[in-house]
Structure 1
């Protein structure tokens, strides 16, 4: 499963929101990846997420594969919306 998001937060995905996102992703057994500008990283890796330098207006794609993929994707989508990070 995959879903594309547009980052709306003025400061993009910096250290604090990246930590929250990685923490949530790490709760799931599924493999979760984040793609930005043709680079893909493990969404359970804070260093991977930070290395992408995702700013406001960026389009990112979250891909989830595994037994709890639907639950994981829903939780990540809810978090991104609740935190005002993406639409």
Structure 2
């Protein structure tokens, strides 16, 4: 687990032999009734689906920074502040 959203759904880092992938774990079933259920790992024992967010941690980190900058009204390429 590398993070969580406001609803206590986690972001998890799953490493295979070659690459770590970052997934969003919808453990509270927040997105269970979305029109587009496009999960990457099906839930087991009603624990919630996992959705691929990024194919490596650096990409995930940059996505987080871009979202934070957008929320603050900064250009998305402003990573120095």
**Given the two structures, how large is their TM-score scaled by the length of structure 2?**
0.32
Greater gyration radius: 2
Q: Which has the higher helix share?
A: 1
**Given the two structures, how large is their TM-score scaled by the length of structure 1?**
0.30
